[in-house]
Structure 1
Amino acid sequence: MQFDAQWLLLALAPVFLACIGWEAWHLSRTRGHIAANGAPDNARYAWPDTLCNTALALMHQGADKLAWLVAVPIYAYVYQHFRLTSWQPGWAAWLVLFVAQDLLYYVFHRASHRVRWLWAAHVVHHSSERLNFSTAFRQSLMYPVAGMWMFWIPLAMLGFTPTQIVSIVLVNLAFQFFVHTQAIGKKPGWLDYVLNTPSMHRVHHARNARYIDRNYAGVLAIWDHLFGSYVAEDAREQPDYGIVKPLGSCNPLKATFHEWFAMARDFARMPDWRSRLAALFAPPDWCERHDAVRFAPAMAGTPHSVPENNTEGEFGSRNP
């Protein structure tokens, strides 16, 4: 475990680019521009979308480098003063670190769909209406502001050094590149009980009512099965990618900040501090449901709608 994972990611960069090149070539040979349902094929590459993904990746990497300058000293302080144990280098330590971080990633990922403050950063990753390997690069520079780094603090308490924490986080994210594709079909069902697969992750990126806000796995699929968030991809219902309210833009700045601006507007217009805090930290569609209840008497007899998702509790909240 004593290695710099950033060198590993640098070594993997040609692999990522080769996968993108292969996928673009493969899709151009096997799929038309129009899907079977008559809609534009959402697997194929489009220059505006791919360039937006690339710009977002570069912005994210810059922000990430700055975030580690703040987060690593915090991990070091917790490790020095609050760690519960110390680990000898070896497979046992690596396995504990891998499983613990993957569980914490599941918690972070699920919270990022349930807490609007976190969703404001994570929505960037979901806002494309295409899904291919380049979508894995579609990340937000606002993750440090949202607080993603705080989810790894328990690893320092478990006795892992800052270098080990940063390394395992980057390795986990590197694995996830390979699940962002439609070129690999659904594999035997047992695999979805062990690992995050392209099929599982296609469900996660879909905005269909039955798929929305499911399959939060990073590497291990066991957490989705254990905590009841797993849904299998159904060949009878193809995933429809993107967010409930489409972004409608390939501008990386709009993709990054549109939800932060919307959240700020909702915060400012709420009538009291309780509702203002809910506008920041409740599920992402809380404001719409709040408005539907608040203005219901005035809108009696007037056609209006409440978001179909998240009307019955835990699952569904992808309104930007």
Structure 2
Amino acid sequence: MPEFPNIIHFAIPFFILSMLLELYVTTRDKFKETKGYETKDAFASIAMGLGNVFLGFLSKALVLGAFVLIYENFRIFTIPIAWWSFILIFFADDISYYWFHRISHECRLFWASHVVHHSSQYYNLSTALRQTWSGGFYSFIFWLWMPLVGFHPAMILLQMSISLLYQFWIHTEAIDKMPKWFEAVFNTPSHHRVHHGSNPIYLDRNHAGILIIWDKLFGTFQPELENESVQYGLVKNINTYNPVKIAFIEWYNMFKDALSGKKSFKDRWNYITKPPGWKHDGTGKVSDDLRNEWLKQQHYDV
């Protein structure tokens, strides 16, 4: 088993210094229209990040065990650890992240853990630290194909960390737009601000990790509009700074919807597998419904 450094742990001082710099920059007059930082919200995000790191010692053992089991017993090929295999795994990991991220918005079981990251009504570098406490124990299934085709488990975990590290800097309002060529290929603060928007036009868009090309290829890309300021948070905000509530409130709501009342087994199952907002009686609205209503109001063709 080759040993690669845990770059997330090494990056913690960088995270702290970056947040302090952003705090300084966004308090200047030039950025007076940005929401900047709110103390309770920022500390809630940091608490979620610390919890994620602590639980990561358990979840990463599970993930590594699953990867090693598949790699050692079922791999189809053996991809060596070489410069060219790091190029391959970059793309393999990034498209895996795209589909994990997209499904996390389209299936309530995965949304129950991912909603944590969207629960802040602020958008700054501390928001990047607002990470799930539960997702690490099951979201890795989107990467299981990689050890099967022959990528070494250590390489997979390293590339997953690189992707997570890249996504830290895009959680800011301090950067408007990157150069056009960069915006065309890579995920940027502008693209990711859209992803964190609760505006109907922005819902469930821009699921990219590092490369925005997947969203453009699979029809989920939405540019940030000059006349539509991003409203951060959820369609229905949870309005709490309690880390435990932030971590588990959607799990509670999901099981409450699935298990309470008189419903068929199919309806109960659908509360777990259908998108957030779905209701068995037809009164619910998912993101596509909200977007189409908004487009009609704006006199756009749907």
State the TM-score, normalizing by the size of structure 2.
0.91
Aligned partner (choices 250, 266, 288) of residue 310 of structure 1 = 288
For residue 284 of structure 1, report the CA deviation from its aligned partner. 1.1
Change (3 A) 1:308 1:172: closer
* 1:148 aligns with one of 139, 159, 165: 139
- Residue 287 of structure 2 aligns to a residue whose secondary structure is coil
Distance apart, 1:32 and its partner CA = 6.6
Q: CA deviation at 1:186?
A: 1.6
CA distance in 2, matches of 1:312, 1:27: 32
Amino acid at match of 2:234: I
Cα offset for 1:17? 1.2
Post-superposition offset of 1:27: 0.8
Aligned counterparts of 2:231 and 2:271: Cα–Cα separation in 1:
27
Deviations 1:21-75 (A, max 9, x none): 1000011113576x3xxxxx42x11110011001101111122210121221211
Report how far residue 80 of structure 1 moved: 1.3
SS of corresponding position for 2:146? helix
Structure 2: which amino acid aligns with 1:53?
Answer: S
Q: Is the 8 Å Cα contact of residues 122 and 143 (structure 1) preserved in structure 2?
A: yes
- CA contact 2:258–2:271 (8 Å) conserved in 1: yes
Question: Structure 1 CA distance, aligned partners of 2:118 and 2:31?
Answer: 24
- The answer (yes or no) to whether the contact 1:268–1:276 under 8 Å persists in 2 is yes
1:291 matched to 2:281:
yes
The 3 A distance-change label for structure 1 pair 135 and 156 is same
What's 1:62 paired with?
54
1:303 corresponds to which residue? none
The TM-score, its normalising length taken from structure 1, stands at 0.86
* Greater shift in the superposed pair: 87-96 or 107-116: 87-96
Q: CA deviation at 1:192?
A: 2.2
Q: How far apart, in 2, do the equivalents of 1:50 and 1:292 lie?
A: 37
State the one-letter code of the partner of 1:107: W
- State whether structure 2 residue 95 is matched by structure 1 residue 117: no
Query: Are the structure 2 counterparts of residues 70 and 232 from structure 1 closer, same or farther at C-alpha, using a change threshold of 3 Å?
Result: same
* Aligned residues between the structures: 293
Kindly indicate whether the alpha-carbon contact (under 8 Å) linking 1:309 and 1:315 is maintained by their aligned counterparts in 2.
no
Measured against aligned partners, the alpha-carbon deviations of 1:103-141 in whole angstroms (never above 9, x if no partner) come to 000000000000000000000000100000010000110
- Structure 2 letter corresponding to 1:309: S
* 1:138 and 2:112 correspond: no
Greater displacement, 266-275 / 234-243: 266-275
* Matching of residues 79-118 of structure 1 within 5 Å: 79-118=71-110
Asked if 1:274 is matched to 2:266, the reply is yes
Q: Which runs of 5+ in 1 are unaligned?
A: 36-40, 294-305
Q: Tell me the CA shift for residue 11 of structure 1.
A: 2.5
**Letter in structure 1 aligned against 2:25:** H
Runs of 4+ in structure 1 off by over 6 angstroms are 312-316
What is the RMSD computed on CA atoms of the aligned residues? 2.1
Query: Which range moves more in the overlay, 261-270 or 203-212?
Result: 261-270
Equivalent of 1:193 in 176, 181, 184: 184
What is the distance in 2 between the residues matched to 1:171 and 1:279?
A: 34
Question: How big is the shift at 1:179?
Answer: 0.5
